[in-house]
Each structure stands twice: as C-alpha cells, then as structure tokens.
Amino acid sequence: MKSIEKHPCFNKDSAQKYIRIHLPVAPKCNIQCHYCNRKYDCVNESRPGVSSGILSPHQALYYYKEMKSRYEHITVAGIAGPGDSLANPDKTLLTLDLIKKEDPDINLCLSTNGLKLPEYCHDLAQIGLSHLTVTINAVDPLVGSKIYRWVRLDSKRYMNQEAAEVLLDRQLAGVEAAVIAGITVKINTIILPGINSDHIPEVAKKMGQLGATLHNCLAFIPVAETPFENVEAPSHSFVAKIREKTGKYIPQMTHCGRCRADAMGLIAKGTTDHYSLIQKIQNMPLNPYEKRKYIAVASEEGILINKHLGQAEEFFIYEISENKKINFIEKREAPLTAGFGDLRWKKLQTSLKDCHTLLVSGVGPRPFDLLTQSGLKIHSLECMIDEALTTIANNGSLNHLNKRESGVCSGCSDQKAGCS
C-alpha cells in the first residue's frame, strides 16, 4: 500500500507542506443527487462540481507540466470531476496514464461515486493509482432513496430506492476491490441533517469493516434549484458530534478544503491564477503536442459559420500564424453527404487530420464523439468566421458564440440524412 506521507488530503500533517492538483477532465455524471446542481460555476465557489473549464487528457498533461514548472512540492495529481471520474472512463484513464508516464513519482488520486468502480478498479491499479475517494452517503437503500433521484448504469436508468440499491451494491463491491488491489481508500459522506445524519455512524462502521482508512464527514452546502436547497446546513458543533460518533469505527478527516474540480495548491490556501490558464488551454488543440495547425469551418459562402456538419459539402481551411494573422488556405470537399454512418466520419477524420479545430453551426452526438476521439475539437457556433478565428487567435473563450452545447443535437430533418 502506498504511503500517505505526502498526500495532503489523507495526511493532515502534510496539508500545508505538499500541493495537490486536480485535473478537470470528467464533465459527465451518472447519478443525480438531490443536493447537486453542477450548472453553477463561479471562481469564488469552493465546492465539488465546480470548474473553470474542461480539459482533454493531453491538455491536462500540458497543464500539469506547466504547473509543475511553476510550483514545487506537487505530490498529488487527482481527478475529481466536475462530473464523476468513472462516468468518463476513457478520459480519466488516459489522463492518469499520461501523468504517470510523465512523472513516475507522482501520487495518482481520483474521486468517484463508486457506480463504475468495480469495472475499472483493476485498470486503475495497473496505471498506478495510489489513493481513492468514494462518496457514500448511505449503506441502507431506504436512506439512499431520499438522497438520489436516479442512477444510470449500462444505458439503463434506475429511480429512487432501486437507484439507491444499485448504487450501494456497486459501491460496496468497488471499495472492497480497491482495498484488495492495495489502493488507499477514503470515504466521503455528506451530512444531510434529518436525512442521513443519524445513519452516518453505520456508514463509518461498514466502511471500516471493508478496509477504508479514512472517513471525511462533510457539512452539506445548500445549492439553489435543487430539492435540498431549503435544507439547513449543519452547524460546526453538529458536524463535530457526527465525527465523534463515527470516529469509533474509522479515523476521521478534519481538514478538508471542499476542493473544486480544478483545485490547485495547498488545502484551504489554493491558488487562483490557474483558472485563467485552464481557460486558455481548453481553447488549444485537444492534443497540444500534435502537429496540427489548421482550423476547418463549415460555411455556405465563407463568411458565416452557418452549416450543420451533416449538411456540409465543403470546408474552408484556415491557419493562424505565430503573429496571430488569419490565413485562408483552401477549400476541401466533404465526404459523401448521404448516410453511410460511421464510415463517413472516419473518412472525415482522415480528411481533417491536419486540423485541430472544427467550427460548425451544429453537430450530431455520434460524429461529435468519433471526431473528438480522433483529436479534433468541435465548436457549435453561430457567428462570423472572422469573429471566431480572431477569438481563437487571442486565446479567448468561444462560450459567448455558442449556438448550443457541443455534441447535442435534436436531430437533422435534412433530406440528405444529416448526421445519421
């Protein structure tokens, strides 16, 4: 089992000596808790589920290397969302693998709700994960049914008590497997007064029996537009009493900083300058180390971004020079526009293999996934081409130009079959 000497979350004595860095690469979540609303995002918020941006695995590596050059004593690289790390398994596993190969001495850590932990525990151990946090709010499905609205597992959605049962079974199996694999396990439990507060000692007892080494009882934070927004947050004395009871079964963590998904620095004394760096890097190519230098645009006339990917017959190709000058390179024909499913998008992968970004007015979920996996960043925008390219050239955010969330499309009614 890995030593916890240099992990500031697992060892209170290390909290003000060693730095942890969270890599925000996991946006999706596979459960819905009654206390969570991840749409809120403010640089002044310090709570899980909040991040200033989302990075690809290779962008995360670039970010990690940049922060290592700025700060000494980074001993932990972790993934804590802003969704669930294992609801985004490909991104999470690749990120951890890239970081470990770059820095073999780093402690790898991740947080998860545990739903997919049984499937990926072996892979995590093989990569070299040393520390794991699992959020478990109940070990009784009746209690859990008051906390979770739904759970999505293998394309099936479970509701209420059934959701709590499915989640609990997976959590117990996952924690047991992680302990057997030699991973140091911490349990997070949200204290929800009147909901699970009397039940938390049972959680601690069960987790201690399974071999978890540390328990973090966290005071609930009311979040607007959630079913629990009017539940009163527990007082410090209330939390202290809970910890006193649970401490009989498992050691308690008392120095938690309620870390964001993009936390960086010492616990409770994190930096803020990295927020702008994350926002800058997320506008870089998905793999900053690839030699891709062009931007492809789906346009009718070369002035506006006004073509859905499924309707594009050609792409306008641009390059941004080192002095931020925008140069038009050429027009390229798109693959056949009628049907052909994945074959069409694989041909497009080849056609745009020297492009790092694709600007369209809309895109279906299947081509979005396939093209993104090939290293192409896709933005769904509704604006002038020059406006978008100038923003990219100046490392600005394209959020204000977004037509809709990338990868989300209600379907194409075009007779050419669109993205089918």
How many Å is the Cα radius of gyration of the chain? 23
Q: Which of 19-23, 217-221, 397-401 has the least mean pLDDT?
A: 397-401
Classify strands 294-297 and 355-360 as parallel, antiparallel or unpaired: parallel
Cα-based angle 203, 206, 210 (whole degrees, multiple of 5): 135
Residue 288: band (very low, low, confident or very high) from pLDDT cuts 50, 70, 90 = confident
Q: Which amino acid is at 80?
A: A
Q: Does pLDDT of 411 surpass 50?
A: no
Q: With CA atoms as reference, report the closest residue to 163 among 172, 150, 173.
A: 150
What pLDDT score was predicted for residue 340? 66
DSSP state of 345: H
Give the CA angle between residues 251, 252, 257 to the nearest 5°: 145
pLDDT tier, 290 (very low <50, low <70, confident <90, very high otherwise)? confident
- The residues near 151 (Cβ < 8 Å, ≥ 6 apart) are 30, 31, 32, 115, 157, 158, 163, 164, 166, 167
Give pLDDT, residue 244: 94
Instruction: Say if CB 363 and CB 308 are below 8 A apart.
Output: yes
Among 223, 222, 284, 214, residue whose Cα is nearest residue 246: 214
Whole-number Å distance between alpha carbons of 311 and 237: 61
Q: Is residue 372 a contact partner of residue 319, using CB atoms and an 8 Å limit?
A: no
Confidence of residue 402 (pLDDT cuts 50, 70, 90): confident
Task: Judge if the upstream peptide bond of residue 82 is cis by omega within 30 degrees of 0.
Answer: yes
Residue 297 clears pLDDT 60, i.e. is over it? yes
Q: Domains plus CATH for the chain? A: 12-281 (3.20.20.70), 294-401 (3.30.420.130)
Q: What is the pLDDT of residues 25-59, one digit of tens each?
A: 999 999 999 888 765 444 444 556 778 889 999 99
Quote the pLDDT of residue 301: 93
pLDDT at 1 over 70: no
Residue where the block lists tokens 């909290």: 15
- Smallest CA-to-CA distance from 373 within 342, 419, 398, 332 is with 342
Residue 167 pLDDT exceeds 50: yes
pLDDT value at residue 338: 54
Quick one: 237 exposed, middle or buried, by C-beta within 10 A (0-12, 13-18, 19+)?
A: exposed
pTM: 0.77
The rounded distance, in Å, linking the Cα atoms of 183 and 154 is 25
How many other β-carbons are positioned within 10 Å of the β-carbon of residue 333?
10
Two structure tokens written together for 394:
């100046």
Q: What would the DSSP string read from start to end of 125-149?
A: HHHTEEEEEEE---SSHHHHTTTEE
Least confident piece of the model among 160-174, 266-280, 322-336: 266-280
- Map tokens 């939390």 to a residue: 239
Strands in 154-293 per DSSP E: 156-159, 184-191, 214-219, 264-266, 269-270
Angle between helices 117-127 and 160-180 (to 10 degrees): 30
Look up residue 311 and give its two tokens: 């309707």
Mean pLDDT across the chain: 87
Say which residue the tokens 């987790």 belong to.
207
The pLDDT tens digits of the residues spanning 329-385 come to 999 999 875 556 788 898 999 999 999 999 999 999 889 988 988 889 999 998 999
Phi/psi of residue 138, nearest 5 degrees: -165, 150
Cβ atoms within 10 Å of 91's Cβ, excluding its own: 21
Closest CA to 359 of 342, 384, 341: 384
Average pLDDT over residues 275-283: 86
Q: Which pLDDT score, from 0 to 100, does residue 416 have?
A: 37
- Among the residue ranges 160-174, 333-347, 406-420, the one predicted with the least confidence is 406-420
Over 90: is that where the pLDDT of 419 sits? Answer: no
